[in-house]
Structures are given as structure tokens and as C-alpha cells.
Structure 1
């Protein structure tokens, strides 16, 4: 991983915070939380839990929320860098009400007491939250297990950005959201039993086991669990699909804009160990002996590790999942191509139309920011930026990448030229790896319940505040609809088209969690991504748009993904 990726994550996180600063006042005004109205006490295998009731603006739907339930022992001291262990039983009643700690993440993102998310970071952060409709039912509700994104560096479930209340309430499902360790705490690898790597994935696994063992007490069906995530969360979902450790723990999966078989999604052991030693050097820990190196790193304060990890960004220190490991046994590209994944799982996968524009603009803001007035941006600028990026990504022919993305763009089309830089970035990192994963999964799947989507409608306000103008339908815009912001803010921030698309997406995602098929999307039947097992066609996907404009499209990704990128990144 590289210097350029982390500033992107940080910039995007900050942009998300700006958005939610604006919407928070409206959101809280609309959403009434009845703090004094307690939810029923639930008796789990670890002990009793008391939650609270919240009422949504939409049809006065009520939810029971159990917030910040501990599922793992604090991974501190000797447990730092190790796979997580189940939490011990407790006496009395645990009060699951209110934000808990975020996991340690980038200190460049400093809470300013205006952001509606937890202000506290700690290594003691292994919590999850459960959201369920309060309406009585004899049905065991399907369960959706949410894994947040943030580049494996940032993010927390204790944030308005990832509030799944509308998904649970409108979709009539139970949503479980999990905190997991990030950055060095979650993904440091030392080729040693004391730091085997993938601690963050082991956290997600432990939370998933907790869900399987306890969700029935909340009214959920442990045999109807769907794991879903976006960006790094989606990369995590795909990792679980490849891992032998997750066999039998979930029935369905939803991948939104990211996969493990990508430059961002995972690293080799060699590259991961190199990064660990870079971090050790920044902490003034000798790397001559691994055991002594790890002892030194465990003795360092959490704050010192975060500070050193920030320093390491300048030389490309971004820690991600490691493959050829216990958790991800093979190189993901080879595993996917060979069908070495949980073939019995039903899958929904997809991407947004302009995945890369926010990343490119965050890397080169002085050239690509959409707020620049009368930008002086030429074909030579675009070509230089693309060749620079793909030289860094170690693509053998960066000049060919630039020529491909610029061949149909007029010299006078400044936004088209800037958009081409973003398109190259997004197709390489997110779009094409996701399409390759979904297509190949469908070809090997035991069922035909594999469905793809392509989101092409831009919300009135993006999930990233600075996603405006030429930037299009940006990375994370799907979450605006899935988490119901246009429903909560109907007529104030979001249009009627946004409102209905949000309802349609929530219904499709919850239908998939319930039946293994998303069913009709605004009246249109969502067809499987491959019409037959023997099909050699590219992914058939639903083009998600406003009502009346959505359509099934065939071979949309062939010119870019199949004809250009496959030979470069999926061979």
C-alpha cells in the first residue's frame, strides 16, 4: 500500500464529517429518541442486556436498540495484535445505551465536538450494536451483519454516518453493526504467532459468532444471516467469503464497492512484514529479532503507535489484510478464479458509477477539486497524473492506461479530462475487481442467486459533501440511500426521487436478506447476473436509477473491465 492511499481515506473521512455536521441538526430534530422508554431485557449467553427504544420519522416505526454490547475481551497488553477472544460473562444487567469507544485510528482526524459520533478512541473497542423492529411478530427476523468501511484505517459504528435504524425499521430486519480493530492494531503482521495478522478480520469473525449464538434471543434467525459492507467493509466481506474460518456462519453476502482481490484489498506476507518493520523502526524498536520487536511494540503506548503510523504514511505504510494466511489461505485472485470460496452463499454485489473521482480529487486537490473556478486543466495534465498514479501502482504500462482513458475525451472538455483521472483510479481499484469477483462467483456458485447492480443516480446531497459537479455518483453515495437519509430528510435536503430510491434500495437489500433474491426493484424484476451457468457473458446488472429509469443492462463493463483491465489485474 502506498503514500497516496491514506490521504485519500483521511480526506474522505473528513468530507463525510462535514456532511453530517450539516445534516445532524435536521436529523436530530426529526428523529425522536425516547431515552426513558427502555427496550425489553435480553438474556444472552454472556449476561442480561437492557437497550432503549427509538422512534423513526417514517410511519412512527419503533425500534429496540442495544448499543455498545461488548463481544470480545479488550485486546490490550499481551493481547495486542492477537486474534480476539470472547468476552467473559457478566453479572447484573448491562446497560446498552450510548456510544462506546471507537477503535484506535488516525490521529489526523481530531474530534471537534460537532461531529455526531463518539469522541473516544481506545484499544478497548470490541463492541457491537443490535437494531430490531419493536413490532411484535412470530417470525424470526432475518439478520444483516454490517461491517463499516474506512480503508482499514478509520471508522466506527458509533457514528451517524452508519446508523442502520432505517434499514432495520423499513426493511423489517435485525441489523447488527460491529466495531473492529483498525490500522496497526487490526492488521499488523510479523510472521509470528504473536502477530499473525488480520486481527481486524478475527474481530469481525468473533462478532459474527456472537451474533449466531445470541441473535435468536433478540428475535433473529441465526440461519438467516447476511454479512454486508461497503468499501473496506466490502473487502472484508469478500475475505470472509474466501476464508475457511467462516464456513457455516452466514447464508448471504452483500458487497458494495470493494473486494479483497484488489490493490487496496490485501497484501502479501512479504509486503505486510516490510510495513510492520517500517512501523517498528518508527517506534525505535529493533527488527533484528521478531520476538523482541513485538515485545517492544506491545510496550509502546497506543498513542505512540498511532503517531508512528501517521509518520509511516509518508513512506507508504498502510496496513491491510494479509493473504496466504490462516484467514485468507491463498492469493485472492487465484482463489476467486479457481472458485475457492463458499459457493453455497447467495451474493449481491455492485458499484457506483464514479467510484474514483473523490479519491483522485483528494490526491490532487489543486488540479481536480470540483470547487476550482475556471480550472486550467489540459490533456497533458491528465496524462501526467494517470501515468504517475499507475507507475506508483506498479502497472507495467501506465502510458497505455492514460491513452485508454483519454482517447475519447476532447482537449477542451476540462471536466471530462478530470473525470478520466478519477475513472482510471476507480476502475482499477474498485469497479473492475468487484465485477470480476461477482462474475466469477456467479459462474462457480451452487445457486443462481447472484445479483449485480450499478448505481447511476446521484443523491441531492452526496455522502461526501465535496462530491459535486463533474464528480458524479461517488464512492459511498449508495450509503445515503441504504441508511435512509432521504427518508428522514425528505423535502428538506433530499428530493422525492431520492426518497423513493431510498425506499426501493432498503426493500431490495432486506428482501435479499430474507429470500436470497432482491425481487422487484420499483416494479422491475432484478435478474441474476448470469442468465445460465454456462454463460460466458459479462455481468448483467441492474442499473439503479430513479423510478421509471432503472433497467437491466448486459455487458456494460466489457469495454473497460473485460477488454482492458482483465489481462492486467485478473490473470
Structure 2
């Protein structure tokens, strides 16, 4: 409880001032009365933006997932009477891992399935609703950070904003690949929270028919998963994906591997068992949550060589089929989407590789680049011809293998395209071909102050969040946050775009009968089309462009899969003495080993 109280103090710091007195705000839901607290929004030097936001914090939407409810789908919370919702709830169990200027509060409390609701006092009746799904690699994070006050977005956007906590790590995403521990519990938590919003948001003045969900990183991929889940149909009409979706290589895992991970974790926790049923029974009795967290972060990473292993799977329920199959069938929930990423997100890889990252950019020479080869192969392909093609695509042809050649930018752009930009391109095309409206963005602005670390990281992963949550207007509660007037304007416009999607289904319009000014028409955000590849460049000028990484994304989404298949087929041919055709059949009578295509060896 001490941590929660400290969070409240820091959360209310800066330009939000709590209003004390006997006139605390309250709403009456079908379950009972919810009492909140009022925050006075007073950004310095901007009296035209002053207002008040009522905050309802730590509202439980599901029963504590403990005992027999651990590693099971969430159960809606039943309560009655009066709920004091004036303090944040517990973050879900996670390790303590700071990310730049963001502070993760470690937690070992499973009673964490709560949400926060922020309601501007001047918001109109039947207000639009934005729902935030946090990121953190599916193993850390919380709905409301003390550095990012959702009340700012609510006040500037004139919308109700809701954040949520969902189960993380093994407790949220462990899967045995069957009906015993099917996995995706964190996604089901999100879905249940969305159902709670549908059933209760009118009590706060919101319109359940005007809900848009938005997320960043793993939260963005979660939004994408909600778009593909039949159980989420009708729960929202807008979906904003910031840097992550189901095609990101870290966002899903094969069922067979997930099962191996589940039994490996069981062994680490003293639950070495033969069947899924026996494993579940043992894991539900493990009392040391800290041991679970350490085992999943350290033990599994050591055994499998990856820190992000506990992620969504195709479970046949929440996600009925592989995403590619759902895309092919246009089995996509009906919502208007904003899909984007940032220009320098590959720098995230350096912050992960070097936790104590320097204020100066690293120098990666050719020898170090080659030493990273096994890492790249594990991420992309073990076929050397593929990693050679990637190197050819991204390295500077005028500076190859020389002592003064720095491969930092090449690695950054390669990782950023592979992890974020090109999966976003694939999803945007699939949505459009399924008849869904899509708006695309690419943030190229280099923020004056980075939330993720040193200045050389530029438009790194997560750097759009300060603009979405209005940080240039309010700063940080404990650190200086130098910014510019242009960035204040950029933040206000970004919030309006996001809020307008919830209000009208069009980021350009705040109401259906609104008309754009001549100035707005010049930079109106155009719909994405496969022919035009239109997008909005997130900068203070908010200009439009065409073709986000178009050449690179054809390379990743079309050429690389073909190259991998060709290399694999060539090996099969060598091994069997047969020619392998495009459909996987063999023509042994027309092929001998000496006629198989050659694949260069390293």
C-alpha cells in the first residue's frame, strides 16, 4: 500500500492539483456507487486550457486471479455498495525494470485487475471514450504511469479516458497449447475490461457506441489481437496501433514452443509434471510470486535465449486461427484504424542490449557487426543467404568493412523495419483489402527531450507517447522536461487526432457536422490506400507523405519470405534428390542432386 500511496502523490503532481472537500465526485453503476477524486488541470501559462478532471482509480473489473482462478480466464468482479476509487490499484506482478525516464513499480500482488476512468467535468453527455492498453513486452507495465497522466489527454481531447491493468508474464500468457492452460489470459483480461466499459461507461457520461482503443508496443499488438478476436466484435469502433501488431516477430509464439516453455517453467518452479492437468494443479499452488517472476525472466531466458517468450498464441478461442489466415478471410472486426511507428525504433535494440546505455551513441565496427550474426540469425533466419541479403540491403555500399564504418544506423533501421514499420505495412494493407478504413502515420520528429534515454536515440520506440499524453504541456513530476512551443502544438494536435477517431471515426473531424478550415484542409490526414500508401508525418508541421519505407517493406514482406522458402527448398532437394515445387510436392523423377539449386554457404 505504501507504493500505491507514493504513486498517487507523484501522479497528482505537476499541473494537476487534487481538490479536497466533501463534494467528491461519484457515479452510480448497476453494482453500486463509485466515489472518485477531482484533479484541477492547470498547465502553466495556458489559462485557456484550465479545467477539472474527475478521476476514478483502481476500479476492479475482475475477481482476483488467485488459487483456482490462476491461469484461467478472468471472472467478472461482483460487488455492491460503495467503492472508494481514489487511489490507484496494484500493478500486476512484474519485475522492476526502469525504461528511460519511466518508472516501473514492481509488484507481486495478483489482485491487480483494475481500471482507471478520467472524466473531464465539462465533457458533453454521451462523450466519446478512449481506452489505453499499455505496452511492456507482455511482462511489465501498468495502465496509468505516474509520468503520463491520462487526465491531460482527457482534458485536451474532451473525451473520457480509461486505462487498465491486465495479467503479465507467465500469469498472463503461459500456455500448454491445449484447453488446460490455453494462454492469452492477459488478452482475455483486456476483453473483459472492454465489456465492463461497454456496460458501465454511460454512468460516467460516456457513449458505449463511441469507443476507440489505443495501445503502444505490446499494447499495440494487443489492440491488433482484439481486432481479430470474435469475442471483441462490437466493443469498439476505433483502433489505434502505435508500434506493434500481430506480425511483429515478438508478438506471438508457436503453440508447440509455448508448450515447451510452460513445462520448462514448471520444472524451474518445482512443478515438473507429465501432463497439462498436473502442471496446472501444481502451478496454482505456488505461493512465491517473486520466484515465478524471477524464473520467467532469468531461467527461461537462459534456457531459450530470449527475454520475450510469454506472449499470445493461437488458442482456438480468443484467437481462432493464425492471423494470416484471419486476414486472408477478412475476419477482422469492424473498426477504423490508425496504424503507425517511429523513424528510429530500432534503437530500442541497443537499449535492450546495453542496459547501461551511454549518453554517446555506440560505435559498431564490422567485426562487432559480424559478431552479432548469431543474434540476427535467431531473429530473422538461420539461412546465411537471408542475413547476407539483409546486410546488403541496409549497409552503406560506400563504406563496407572499413575501420571507420559505423553500423549503428544500419542495425537501427534494419531492426525498426523488421519489428515495427513493415509489420505495420502488412497489417494496414490487410485491413484495407478487407474493406476497413485505415489512417497511417510515421513519427520522424526528434523530440527535444527523450523519454527513452539519451538524445542520440532520436525518434525511438515509445517516443510518441509523450505527445499522446500531453507531456510537453505539463512536464514530468520529478525531472526537467525541456520542450518547445512547436512540440506543445504537436502534442495538442496528436491528442485531437486520437480523440477525433473516437468521436467521429475520422481523425480530422471532432464532430460529424464539423467543417475543416482552409488551413486544416491543406494538411488533412488522408485515408491510406494500397495504391497511394498515404500517411501523416508526425511532426509539428503534420505534413502528409506517401510510402512509409515502401522499398524496405517489399523486401521484408515479399522478398525475404520467398528467399527463405527457396533456401529451404534447395536443402530439401539436396537431402532427397528431388525437386521441390512451389506447393511443396516433389518431382523426384525429374530431379537429381546435381540439378538442385545451389545455396551459398557462409
1:501-540 to 2 correspondence within 5 Å?
Answer: 501-519=490-508, 523=520, 524-530=523-529, 535-537=530-532, 539-540=533-534
Secondary structure at 2:177 match in 1:
strand
Stretch moving more, 243-252 or 512-521: 512-521
Please give the per-residue CA displacement for 1:263-283, whole angstroms capped at 9, x wherever unaligned: 111112111111111101111
Assess, with a 3 A threshold, how the Cα gap between structure 1 residues 153 and 47 changes in structure 2: closer, same or farther. same
What is the alpha-carbon distance in structure 1 between the residues aligned to residue 146 and residue 23 of structure 2? Answer: 21
- Deviation of the 1:157 alpha carbon: 1.9
- SS where residue 189 of structure 1 aligns? coil
Matches within 5 A, 1:229-240: 229-240=215-226
Say yes or no: does 1:456 pair with 2:444: yes
> CA, structure 1 residues 385+178, in 2 after alignment: closer, same or farther (shift >3 Å)?
same
Partner of residue 401 from structure 1, selected from 376, 390, 411: 390
Task: Please list, as runs of the form range in 1=range in 2, the aligned pairs for 1:81-230 lying within 5 A after superposition.
Answer: 81-91=71-81, 93-106=82-95, 108-109=96-97, 120-135=107-122, 137=124, 139-230=125-216
Which secondary structure does the structure 2 equivalent of 1:477 belong to?
Answer: coil
Q: How many Å apart are 1:116 and its aligned residue?
A: 6.3
Q: Please give the TM-score of this superposition, normalised by the length of structure 2.
A: 0.82
Is this contact kept in 1: 2:34–2:83, CA < 8 A?
yes
- Aligned position for 1:541: 535
- Give the count of matched residue pairs: 530
Is structure 2 residue 279 aligned with structure 1 residue 293? Answer: yes
Aligned with residue 314 of structure 1, among 284, 294, 302: 302
Shift in alpha-carbon separation, 1:42–1:30, aligned structure 2, 3 A: closer
* Displacement after TM superposition at 1:445 (Å): 1.9
Say which SS state the counterpart of residue 350 (structure 1) adopts.
strand
Other-structure match for 1:14? none
For 1:110 and 1:357, the matched residues in 2 are separated by: 17
> Gaps (5+ residues) in structure 1?
1-20
The answer for the alignment partner of 1:556 in structure 2 is 548
8 Å contact 2:439–2:527 — kept in the other structure? yes
Contact preservation (8 Å) 2:248, 2:419: yes
Structure 1 residues 187 and 26: alpha-carbon distance in aligned structure 2, compared to 1, 3 A threshold = closer
Q: Which residue of the partner structure matches residue 55 of structure 2?
A: 65
Query: Deviation per CA, 1:443-473, whole angstroms, max 9, x where unpaired?
Result: 2125xx310000111221112123x22x220
Tell me the secondary structure at the aligned position of residue 137 of structure 2: coil
CA distance in 2 between counterparts of 1:566 and 1:360 reads: 27
Deviations 1:426-457 (A, max 9, x none): 211111101110122112125xx310000111
Does the 8 Å contact 2:211/2:238 carry over to 1?
yes
| Alignment of 1:496 onto 2:485 | yes
Distance 1:255 1:372 in 2: 31
Aligned to 1:6: none
Partner of 2:511: none
SS for the counterpart of 1:299 is coil
Aligned to 1:40: 25
- SS of match in other structure, 1:160: coil
Gaps of 5+ in 2: 1-6, 44-48, 509-515, 566-602
Matches within 5 A, 1:267-278: 267-278=253-264
Distance between the aligned counterparts of 1:61 and 1:288, measured in 2? 60
Give the 5 Å matches for 1:268-417.
Answer: 268-301=254-287, 302-310=289-297, 311-316=299-304, 318-342=309-333, 344-364=334-354, 369=357, 371-372=359-360, 376-385=363-372, 388-394=375-381, 396=383, 397-408=386-397, 410=399, 417=407
Q: Is the partner of 1:442 in helix, strand or coil?
A: helix
Q: 1:239 to 1:110 in 2, by over 3 A?
A: closer
Q: Deviations over 1:223-260 (max 9, x none)?
A: 11111100000000000111111111111111110001
Report the Cα offset of residue 399 of structure 1: 2.0
Query: Structure 1's 116 and 496: CA in aligned 2 closer, same or farther, altered over 3 A?
Result: same
Q: Residue 31 of structure 1 aligns with which residue?
A: 16
Task: Give the match's secondary structure for 1:250.
Answer: coil
For the structure 1 residues 208 and 338, does the alpha-carbon distance in structure 2 shift closer, same or farther, using more than 3 Å as the test? same
Alpha-carbon distance in structure 2 between the residues aligned to 1:227 and 1:188: 25
Whole-angstrom CA distance in 2 between matches of 1:393 and 1:280: 29
Is the 2:418–2:556 Cα contact (8 Å) retained in structure 1? no
Does the residue aligned with 1:286 lie in a helix, a strand or coil? coil
TM-superposed CA distance for 1:377, in Å, is: 3.1
- Kindly report the root-mean-square deviation, in angstroms, between the aligned alpha carbons of the 2 structures: 2.8
Distance 2:498 2:561 in 1: 30
Secondary structure at 1:525 match in 2: coil
1:49 equivalent in alignment to 2:34 = yes
Instruction: Provide the secondary structure at the position in 1 that maps to 2:501.
Output: helix
Deviation of the 1:376 alpha carbon? 4.9
The Cα of 1:119 is off from its aligned counterpart by 5.9
Shift in Å at residue 135 of structure 1? 1.3
* Displacement of 1:325: 2.4
Question: Structure 1 residues 406-415 or 302-311, which shifts more?
Answer: 406-415
Quick one: distance in 2 between partners of 1:333 and 1:158? Answer: 32
Structure ranking higher on relative contact order (CA contacts 8 Å, 6+ apart): 1
Note if contact 1:482-1:506 (Cα within 8 Å) is conserved in structure 2.
yes
* Cα separation, partners in 2 of 1:395 and 1:481, compared to 1, 3 Å: farther
Offset from partner CA, 1:486-543 (integer Å, 9 cap, x none): 011399621111111101101111111111111179831000011xxxx545x31111
